[in-house]
Amino acid sequence: MIFSGEVPEEPVVSKKSGLLFEKRLVERHVKRKCPVTGEPLTMDDIVPVKTNKAVKPRPLQAASIPGLLGMFQNEWDALMLSNFALEQQLHTARQELSHALYQHDAACRVIARLKKERDEARALLAQAERHIPMTVSTAATANAPAHSNGNRAVEDEELKKVHPGISADTIAELTDCNAILSQQRKKRQIPPTLASIDDLGRYTQLSSHPLHKTNKPGILSADIHPSKDIIATGGVDTNAVIFDRTSGQILSTLSGHSKKVTSVKFVPRDELFVTGSADKTVRVWQGSEDGNYNCRHILKDHMAEVQAVTIHATHNYFVTASLDNTWCFYDLSSGLCLTQVGEVSGAEGYTSAAFHPDGLILGTGTSEALVRIWDVKSQSNVAKFDGHIGPVTAITFSENGYFLATAAFDAVKLWDLRKLRNFRTFAPYDSNTPTNSVEFDHSGSYLAIAGSDVRLYQVANVKSEWNCIKTFPDLSGTGKATSVKFGPDAKYMAVGSMDRNLRIFGLPGDASEEP
């Protein structure tokens, strides 16, 4: 029999006593004596016994029902202890995770507060830098001693690098352009190629083109090149798309902005193109012979979303309007911000902007329902129009220079710039549907309004009725219309909507409009 009372895994036999042992147990005693007889015992007196490894005898505990119950009880106790330990570890891990998440949330709040304070400090610094050349430098010139003239010159030169201001040469260029355009306007006649009222009344949808990505659908802005049959759109998907109307093909997709593209404008010279975005930047693109556009300038003067871009009649300058309550006047060739106008710390922001056809007046709409008219040469606010409800979403001047149309949440209002008053209001939609776009055609004969549908009006004078020529199908089921543009001579219209489709409206049977 075995000394330990258990079935041995490595059985051995003593030569002296003939007793059976478990090798690993008896090895502890062989250097002294036999654990049973007490006789001296060495490893040489131990003989291993070969057994069949495939069939092991049943352990003692499994030889009876009480033994099996004891084994099950031990295993159950061990399982319960293990489960209790796991529950304790899980509780500890949950507490540690909760603490880590609380620390992360607190850190995010601190970082957000610091970023806000940083942005406010930058805005105040930018505002101070704009005022320093007019205030501090003037006072320093009058009061500083003569030996500091050299230092003052260096400081003034550094200040000019921020925003040098609109120079006398630039003002002269703007004034000359205004004189030429004003003289031409007096002799201007309605072109015989302009689409007639009957033509507009027969306009229908000719084609629809899904230009932007499906994961972030929506066209927010559109523009038509004045001398080429190409259309540009800016989308929620952060891209601008250049589209050939004749072929129905996309010529180029401009990627680079990190947020939605809110405004797109063609410059009718040097194949230039300007985009504004909610990522606070403006990009100037240069077209190439192969039809692609490369980013030429990235402008980062604004501290909030850029909502509007408008090109000056000289095609040498442009203005951007932002929710940071400023508008910037840029030199197109260099991408330099000549001046930034507005109060950075103000509560309202600019949501729309447009140049007067003569170029010396700038109109801006604000998020607080106010329309401001600016003298570009002096950058002074010369008039204010109120009466809207909600942000002013769009603003456009008539080609004759007398009328201004503004769109907001409540309606479209027409303003007489000669008497500075509102003489007509269109409220085509209900109180829950804003008007997103309003546009005069280039001749100043027609006015288009876009919201849940698109409506065309005949332009008349202050006292005459502005008749509705055409109402196009309701777009509310497929996506509200966000932008509307007239093609040359009002031969067609391009309408962008939130379902990412660019729709072309024109006379039926126009071969150039086949999808």
Cα–Cα–Cα angle for 229, 259, 348, nearest 5°?
A: 100
| R_g over Cα of the chain | 41
Residue 25: per-residue pLDDT: 76
Residue 149: per-residue pLDDT: 45
Residue 511: per-residue pLDDT: 46
Q: Report the distance separating Cα 274 and Cα 278, nearest Å.
A: 14
Residue 448: per-residue pLDDT: 93
Q: Which domains does the chain have, with CATH numbers?
A: 11-53 (no CATH), 168-506 (2.130.10.10)
User: The pTM is what?
Assistant: 0.68
Residue 160: per-residue pLDDT: 43
Q: pLDDT tens across 458-487, in order?
A: 998 888 888 999 988 755 455 588 999 999
Residue 237 has pLDDT above 50, yes or no: yes
The closest alpha carbon to 233, from 210, 256, 214, belongs to: 210
The SS3 assignment for 190 reads: coil
Pairing status of strand 11-14 against strand 240-244:
unpaired
DSSP 2: B
Cα–Cα–Cα angle for 187, 271, 268, nearest 5°?
A: 15
Residue 119: per-residue pLDDT: 85
Residue 510: per-residue pLDDT: 64
Residue type, position 18, single letter: G
* Two structure tokens written together for 487: 């093609």
Alpha carbon 50 to its chain's center: 81
* Two structure tokens written together for 210: 């899904």
Residue 395: per-residue pLDDT: 95
Residue 133: per-residue pLDDT: 42
Residue 32: per-residue pLDDT: 65
Residue 233 has pLDDT above 90, yes or no: yes
CB atoms within 10 A of CB 259: 14
Residue 319 has pLDDT above 70, yes or no: yes
Q: pLDDT tens across 150-179, in order?
A: 444 444 444 344 577 888 999 999 999 999
* Two structure tokens written together for 324: 């940071």
The closest alpha carbon to 222, from 53, 230, 89, 144, belongs to: 230
Of 46 and 194, more confident? 194
Q: pLDDT tens across 377-387, in order?
A: 999 999 999 88
User: How confident is residue 144, by pLDDT bands cut at 50, 70 and 90?
Assistant: very low
Give the mean model confidence (pLDDT) for residues 429-458: 87
Place of tokens 């003289």: 183
Give the mean model confidence (pLDDT) for residues 415-422: 90
Residue 397: per-residue pLDDT: 94
User: How confident is residue 502, by pLDDT bands cut at 50, 70 and 90?
Assistant: very high
- Structural contact between residues 422 and 413, judged by C-beta atoms closer than 8 angstroms: yes
The closest alpha carbon to 198, from 458, 495, 472, belongs to: 458
Q: pLDDT tens across 91-140, in order?
A: 999 999 999 999 999 999 999 999 889 888 887 887 676 555 433 333 33
Residue 6: per-residue pLDDT: 61
Mean pLDDT across the chain? 83
* Two structure tokens written together for 415: 């303003």
Residue 71: per-residue pLDDT: 84
Element (H, E) at 481: strand 481-486
Residue 53 has pLDDT above 70, yes or no: no
Q: Residue 10: is it exposed, middle or buried by C-beta count within 10 angstroms (0-12/13-18/19+)?
A: middle
Residue 182: per-residue pLDDT: 85
Residue 390 has pLDDT above 80, yes or no: yes
